[in-house]
Structure formats: structure tokens, C-alpha cells
């Protein structure tokens, strides 16, 4: 018991300091745990607290700046282009096709408008810079105008004058046959060999519309009173005077005057009967239709045949009754004014008719192979569509 008591007492003595030591360790551990908990709480409060709790002494984070407004260039203001289309006399044209192209832009598409009833055209929202306007209309020469449009400008283009296309321009004709014949007839009236000698009785249009009776008479009259006709008649009268042809007329001024009058009567009567009266009654075309294609032989035969063959107003080839009967009529009438000694009745009439036919064949050969080359400004109707 003593030993036990001593032992117990000894343990009590040993345990006392140990317990104190242990208690001190527990307190240290407890303090350490408390410190750690307090530090963890502070750290948690730092992470979860609002931004306002951050220490003001810390430098602020740099803020993202908005991009500068100068990075987007300012676009120039668009403008407008407008004007009016007129003819040479100042009358406005409606329905003219107007195209606008921006010379400095490869992305801006070509724009197009049509002139209104007042002849005006207008393009809006046009970017500034060089531009080109193209004006076109059927039957008129294309016009091109260039200019420069400033930012925000309202550009009034000077009046655009459309001119009729030249005779060599390719024009789609939609007129009636009578209107086409009239236009081609006017061109034929201008045909002159070397620009002087009349060349009215030939057409270079293979399918030319027929002439009206009025046009046939006009053509015969115009040929008869042309100054060149009077000169040629005078030249033949002089040759006959020199050769003493139709000596019944005598010599001197009186003889020359009679020969001149007889020659002019032959020309006038032949033109009026063979070129106007009979063609109108028989509905035949008195003109020579130029062939211009094929072999030389075919063209020669064609030219000779045309002295006894002609084209009817219906477009078909037929015997040239107008030319043949016209020659006979002119020969018969000539018996009235030629000297009695040179008259031979029916024989002279048919002789003159045959001579006239042969002369017509020779004239056709010259027309086919030579005259066109000597006639300036002959219209080219190859591109005309009927």
C-alpha cells in the first residue's frame, strides 16, 4: 500500500508539471488555431469584400480607353447631276437613254435613266469625282459628255444637243415603205458623177421600195431642167452643126438653134414619156438597179438585159414596156420637128428606138462598172433593215 501510495503520489507529483506543460501546449495549440482561424477569416473578407474596401493606397488598374473617333474617316457628301436633251432647233427630246459612269470608281455600277416629257434627266446620290454621261437614241448620233462633280454639288449639265446620225450609221428603220422610198429618193437626187453630172436614175439598194407617180414625174422634171442637161444638149447640137447633120436645119445661129431645140425636145420627151408617164400608167420602176456582185460575165449580162427588163412596182422583174414604148413614142414625135428630108416615117421611128435601146445597154454597163466609183458620197444601205 505504501508503495502504491508512493507510486500514486509519485505519479501525482510527475503528473502535475506534465499537466501544466500539456495545458500550456494546449493553450499554444489553441492560440495557434485561433490565429489561423482569424487569418482565414481576414483572407475570406478580403476576397469577398466590395471593391471599396481595397486599400486606397494601391494604384488603380488602368482602364480600357475607347477607340479614338479619328479612326473612322468622314465620308464626302454625295451630289446630283441633271440636265435637258434637245435637238438642233431647241425642241426637247423624250425617251433618250442616258447612262452615268463614275470614271474614278471601279465598284460603282453604271446607272441609266430616260429623259422625261420635258427632255430632262436626273441622277441623285452621286459620289463626287469624275463622271461620264452617254446619250443615245435610235436614229441619232451618240453623244458623250465628261465632267467633275464636287462634294454636295448640284451639277446642271449644259443642254445636250442630239444630231441625226450620218448616212453610214447603222440604223434600224421602222418606217413605212413610202417613207423609206422618200428618204432614199432624196439621197438619189444628190447623186452626181464627179459631183456635177446628174446620176438620178440609179439606185444602189437591191430591194428599194418603188417610187410613187409623183416621185417619177419629179425625177424626170429635175433631170430635164438640170443645168448640166442644157450644157450636154448644147454640146451635141454643136457636134451636129459641125458635121452638118440634119442639113435641113441649115447653118449659122439659126441652124444651131434648131438643132439645139430638137436635141432638147428628144431629151425632154424621152424623160417624161419613158421615165414618168408610162412608168406611172404601167406601174414600172424607171431606175437602174445596181447589181455590184457576182462574176464580171453575170454583171455584163445583167446590165444589157436591164435595157429591155425592169422591176415592177410589185417588186417582180418584167419586160420594160415603159422604156421600149417610150422610145418609140419619142421617135414618132420627133418626126414632127426634124427636117422633112430626114424623116423616114415608121422606119426612122423604129431606128431611133433601137438606137435608144442600144444606148441604154451601153449606159447600164457604164453604170455597173464605172459610175459608182466616180460618184462621191454614195449612201451605203447595206446595213439598213426593212
| Residue 45, pLDDT score | 45
Count CB atoms within 10 A of the CB of residue 112. Answer: 14
How does pLDDT run across 2-60, given as a tens digit for each residue?
434 444 444 444 444 444 444 444 554 444 444 544 454 444 444 444 444 444 444 55
What's this model's pTM, rounded to 2 decimal places? 0.53
Grid coordinates representing 360 are: 441604154
Long-range contact set of residues 115-119: C-beta below 8 Å, sequence gap at least 24: 115/84, 115/85, 118/84, 118/92, 118/94, 119/84, 119/85, 119/86, 119/92, 119/93, 119/94
CATH superfamily of 79-161: Immunoglobulins (2.60.40.10)
Q: Domain residue spans in the chain?
A: 79-161, 177-374
pLDDT at position 138 over 80: yes
Position 161 scores a pLDDT of 85
Q: Is the confidence at residue 65, as pLDDT, over 70?
A: no
Task: Please give the mean pLDDT across all residues of the chain.
Answer: 78
* All three cell numbers of 343: 424623116
Residue of higher predicted confidence among 262 and 173? 262
Q: Is the pLDDT of residue 244 over 70?
A: yes
Position 279 pLDDT exceeds 90: yes
pLDDT recorded at residue 169: 44
pLDDT at 64 over 90: no
pLDDT, tens only, 187-239: 888 899 999 999 999 998 878 888 899 999 999 999 999 999 999 999 999 99
Q: Is the pLDDT confidence value at 260 over 70?
A: yes
**Residue whose C-alpha is closest to residue 337's, from 269, 252, 289, 279:** 269
pLDDT at 281: 96
Cβ pair 314, 282 in contact under 8 A: no
Nearest CA to 172 out of 221, 210, 138 is that of 138
Task: Indicate whether 99 pLDDT > 50.
Answer: yes
Task: Compare 69 and 309 and report the one with higher pLDDT.
Answer: 309
Amino acid at each position: 500500500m505504501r508503495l502504491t501510495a508512493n507510486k500514486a503520489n509519485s505519479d501525482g507529483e510527475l503528473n502535475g508539471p506534465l499537466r501544466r506543460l500539456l495545458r500550456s501546449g494546449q493553450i499554444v495549440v489553441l492560440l495557434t488555431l485561433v490565429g489561423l482561424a482569424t487569418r482565414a477569416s481576414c483572407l475570406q473578407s478580403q476576397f469577398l469584400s466590395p471593391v471599396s474596401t481595397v486599400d486606397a493606397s494601391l494604384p488603380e488598374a488602368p482602364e480600357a480607353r475607347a477607340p479614338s473617333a479619328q479612326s473612322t474617316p468622314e465620308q464626302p457628301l454625295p451630289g446630283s447631276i441633271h440636265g435637258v436633251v434637245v435637238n438642233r432647233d431647241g425642241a426637247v427630246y423624250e425617251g433618250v437613254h442616258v447612262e452615268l459612269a463614275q470614271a474614278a470608281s471601279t465598284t460603282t455600277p453604271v446607272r441609266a435613266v430616260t429623259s422625261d416629257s420635258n427632255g430632262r434627266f436626273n441622277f441623285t446620290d452621286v459620289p463626287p469625282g469624275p463622271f461620264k454621261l452617254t446619250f443615245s437614241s435610235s436614229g441619232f448620233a451618240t453623244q458623250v459628255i465628261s465632267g467633275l462633280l464636287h462634294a454636295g454639288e448640284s451639277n446642271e449639265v449644259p443642254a445636250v444637243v442630239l444630231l441625226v446620225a450620218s448616212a453610214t450609221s447603222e440604223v434600224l428603220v421602222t418606217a413605212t415603205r413610202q417613207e423609206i422610198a422618200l428618204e432614199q429618193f432624196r439621197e438619189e437626187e444628190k447623186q452626181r458623177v464627179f459631183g456635177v453630172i446628174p446620176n438620178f436614175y440609179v439606185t444602189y439598194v437591191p430591194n428599194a421600195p418603188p417610187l410613187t407617180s409623183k416621185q417619177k414625174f419629179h425625177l424626170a422634171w429635175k433631170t430635164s431642167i438640170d443645168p448640166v442637161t442644157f450644157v450636154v444638149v448644147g454640146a451635141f447640137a454643136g457636134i451636129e452643126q459641125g458635121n452638118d447633120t440634119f442639113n435641113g436645119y441649115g447653118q449659122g445661129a439659126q441652124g444651131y438653134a434648131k438643132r439645139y431645140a430638137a436635141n432638147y425636145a428628144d431629151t425632154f420627151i424621152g424623160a417624161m414619156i419613158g421615165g414618168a408617164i408610162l412608168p406611172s400608167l404601167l406601174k414600172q420602176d424607171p431606175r437602174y438597179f445596181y447589181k455590184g456582185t457576182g462574176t464580171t460575165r453575170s454583171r455584163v449580162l445583167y446590165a444589157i438585159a436591164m435595157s429591155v427588163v425592169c422591176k415592177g412596182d410589185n417588186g417582180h422583174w418584167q419586160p420594160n414596156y415603159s422604156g421600149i414604148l417610150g422610145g418609140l413614142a419619142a421617135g414618132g414625135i420627133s418626126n414632127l420637128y426634124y427636117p422633112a428630108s430626114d424623116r423616114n416615117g415608121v422606119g426612122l421611128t423604129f431606128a431611133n428606138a433601137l438606137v435608144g435601146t442600144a444606148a441604154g445597154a451601153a449606159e447600164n454597163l457604164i453604170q455597173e462598172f464605172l459610175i459608182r466609183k466616180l460618184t462621191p458620197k454614195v449612201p451605203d444601205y447595206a446595213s439598213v433593215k426593212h
